[in-house]
Amino acid sequence: MINTLIATDQSMLGQGWADYLLSRPELAIQPIVCTMAEVVRTATEERPSYILLDMLSLSVEGLQTIASLRHAAKKARFILLLSGYESPQYVRRLMDSSIVGLLSRQSSVQELLDCMAKAAIGGVHISQDLNEKAFMERQPEEAPSLGIYALSKRELQIANFIVTGMTTRQIAVVIGLSTKTVEVHRHHILRKLKLTKSVSLVNLLTGRHLPVGQEIT
């Protein structure tokens, strides 16, 4: 069984997701529901494979709680459930915290299952509304003249996967395109942003700097 910890102070939300997962025995998922006050202790005891965190319950303490949980459940994959009203800056900070998924309040339980399936093969899933928020709502003073607005929704999706460190082959598997098609999209992304290397894209969109010589292929 795949232990999946659902941490939320919204009892109806947590139980609803848990009931759905239990109704699909073929998935072999064992949901465990707890409150935010119990999440670190429960993660330590249960050692879940996945932790679904309701970030609305955490408010500004989200990043600190994630850090504590990483120590308590070192092998767990983190999926964060956001309200959809967070700032673009906060969404990008969460993307950069080595999570495997960001879901919004509009996401279905099926999207959670899709997210878990992608994580199992090394992928990352970001719900479309949060992906658009992260890359399309940068304030002018934060990133002037990025040219992000020139990218299509598909290009924004692929740019997000590139930023998380996924290879062309991994991206192709996750979104169901051929490797060649993903390569074409990557070329268009770099051309539109007037860049020559994927590492420049990562630095541009996140402000991070990879070690010298570390290129994403």
DSSP string, 124-193: -EE-HHHHHHHHH---TTTSTT--GGGS-HHHHHHHHHHHTT--HHHHHHHHT--HHHHHHHHHHHHHHT
Question: What confidence score (pLDDT) does residue 60 get?
Answer: 52
Percent residues over pLDDT 90 in the chain: 29
pLDDT tier at 79, thresholds 50, 70, 90: very high
pLDDT tier at 163, thresholds 50, 70, 90: confident
Q: Which of 13-27, 156-170, 182-196 has the highest mean pLDDT?
A: 13-27
Which three-class secondary structure string do you get for 73-107? Answer: CCCCEEEEEECCCCCHHHHHHHHCCCCCEEEECCC
Question: What confidence score (pLDDT) does residue 63 get?
Answer: 74
Domains of the chain: 2-136 (3.40.50.2300), 148-206 (1.10.10.10)
Higher pLDDT, 165 or 59: 165
Average pLDDT over residues 161-185: 87
Higher pLDDT, 96 or 211: 96
Question: What confidence score (pLDDT) does residue 203 get?
Answer: 66
Task: Identify whether the C-beta of residue 133 lies closer than 8 Å to the C-beta of residue 88.
Answer: yes
Task: Identify whether the C-beta of residue 94 lies closer than 8 Å to the C-beta of residue 124.
Answer: no
pLDDT tier at 213, thresholds 50, 70, 90: very low
Higher pLDDT, 95 or 150: 95
* pLDDT tens for each residue of 17-63: 999 999 999 989 999 999 999 999 999 999 999 999 998 877 556 67
Average pLDDT over residues 146-161: 73
How many residues does this entry show for the chain?
217
Question: What confidence score (pLDDT) does residue 49 get?
Answer: 95
